[in-house]
Amino acid sequence: MHSLRAHGLAALAVAALLATPAQAQMGPPGPPTIGTVAAQKRAVTESSEFSGRISAAARVDVVARVTAFIESRLFTEGGEVQEGELLFRLDPATFQAEVAAREATVAQTTALLRNATLTLSRAQALIGSGAGKASSVDDARAQQASLAAQLQGAQAQLRASQINLGYTEVTAPISGRVGRAALSAGNVVTPASGPLVTIVSQDPMYVTFPVPVRQALELRNRYADRGGFAALRVRVRLPDGRLYTQPGKLDYADPSVAPSTDSLTLRATIPNPVRAGARPGEPGNRELLDGAFVSVFLEGIEPVQALAIPRSAVLSDPQGNFVYVIDAEKKTQQRRITLGASPPGLAIVTTGLQEGETIAVDGLQRLRPGIPVNPVPATPPAGAPPAAPRG
């Protein structure tokens, strides 16, 4: 027993002697290794992001113009129709009878007017030969004028009846997608029945978005000498996160500021063609949907030279935005910066940084102002940040 205990104590002593040199070699930890990049100017497309909503350029509620039974519905609910396409046919029998009666009245009055014209001619011939009376001429002329006026009235009534008969064929006033029919065949409709169906235009569409007044003024001043609205384009990110391939153009700005939000509403027109491979008229054949909530990017058409850093290098606190700059002594400095309109993935710095200064982009959670660091190039290289959305 004593021999085993002695051997155990000896093994512990040897292990302690072997461990001592390794522990002595570790020493205190060195400064943290930080990924860095140099702030540099690059050609960037200025971009500002807003929240917007898609809306149709035209929306029409189709209503009945006469009182009649619905004879048939001739469109597919949810499909697309073309301007002038027949949507409903109303029972025309009553209106056809009315047109026939008005035509008869016009024909009768025309015959009476023709006879009155002949009577006036005879009276005038007799007065020229000395056998007639002036009063007879006056009476014939008055009768002719009266019948001419009656004919004009009958023709106007005939035209009104023909218009009402035309209203029994309800056509699409615009091209677009139709909604659900409010009434089915067999129902009686009147002008007071409300919309029979609603048509929403599809191409082009509008996208409207509010811009804070201060930012709107900055955009105006920035692009005033570059063409104004013509120097900007609109890109849309769809609700599913995809970037819509068709760019839009600004075409309207509200004349008044919304007092509740202190913002100015801008509007752009954006194409909405049929998707590749989709059939015209089928539901879901276009990307943009009326009423959809989207992200809107307002971009400059021409790239500009600007001091750019990776977006990941920018930190924020209640005082604003800042970055960590690595000075010549490899120590961190907290630097307050001001950002301009920036594309996704990049931060455009307008004040607070100089070109060529080294900033930290990796390991930011370990940094505090004034601590020494071991700066190394960031991986992946920050020279290829995500580009602005191009589709």
Instruction: Tell me the domain boundaries of the chain.
Output: 33-44+305-377, 49-57+201-302, 64-88+171-200, 92-167
The CA distances from residue 20 to 13, 14, 23, 26, 28, in Å, are 11, 10, 5, 11, 16
Going by CATH, does the domain composed of 33-44+305-377 fall within 3.40.50.20?
no
Give the amino acid at 81: V
CA distance 292 to 244: 13
Tell me: the pLDDT tens digits for 303-355? 777 888 888 889 988 888 999 998 888 888 889 988 876 666 788 888 888 88
Pairing state of beta strands 80-81 and 176-178? antiparallel
Nearest to 88 by CA among 173, 200, 159: 173
Query: Of 17 and 197, which is predicted with more confidence?
Result: 197
Tell me: the pLDDT tens digits for 217-258? 888 887 777 777 778 889 999 998 889 999 999 989 889 998
Going by CATH, does the domain composed of 92-167 fall within 3.40.50?
no
Tell whether the model's pLDDT for residue 135 goes beyond 80: no
Nearest to 348 by CA among 378, 286, 296, 304: 304
Task: Please state the rounded mean pLDDT for residues 86-101.
Answer: 94
Q: pLDDT-based confidence at 113, cuts 50/70/90?
A: confident
By CB atoms closer than 10 A (0-12, 13-18, 19+), residue 123 is buried
pLDDT of residue 129: 62
Tell me: the pLDDT tens digits for 286-300? 899 999 999 998 887
Phi, psi of 35, deg, nearest 5? -75, 135
Please tell me the class of the 64-88+171-200 domain: mainly beta
Phi, psi of 369, deg, nearest 5? -60, 135
For the ranges 40-54, 119-133, 196-210, 241-255, the lowest mean pLDDT is seen at 119-133
Tell whether the model's pLDDT for residue 364 goes beyond 70: yes
Please name the residues in contact with 219: beta carbons below 8 A apart, sequence gap of 6 or more: 48, 211, 232, 298, 341
pLDDT of residue 28: 61
Q: pLDDT-based confidence at 278, cuts 50/70/90?
A: confident
- Return the CATH number of the domain spanning residue range 49-57+201-302: 2.40.30.170
Task: Please state the rounded mean pLDDT for residues 83-99.
Answer: 94
Pairing state of beta strands 205-212 and 47-56? antiparallel
Give counts: helices (H), strands (E), the chain: 4, 24
Tell me: the pLDDT tens digits for 139-154? 778 988 888 999 999 9
Q: pLDDT-based confidence at 132, cuts 50/70/90?
A: low
pLDDT of residue 281: 66
Tell whether the model's pLDDT for residue 262 goes beyond 70: yes
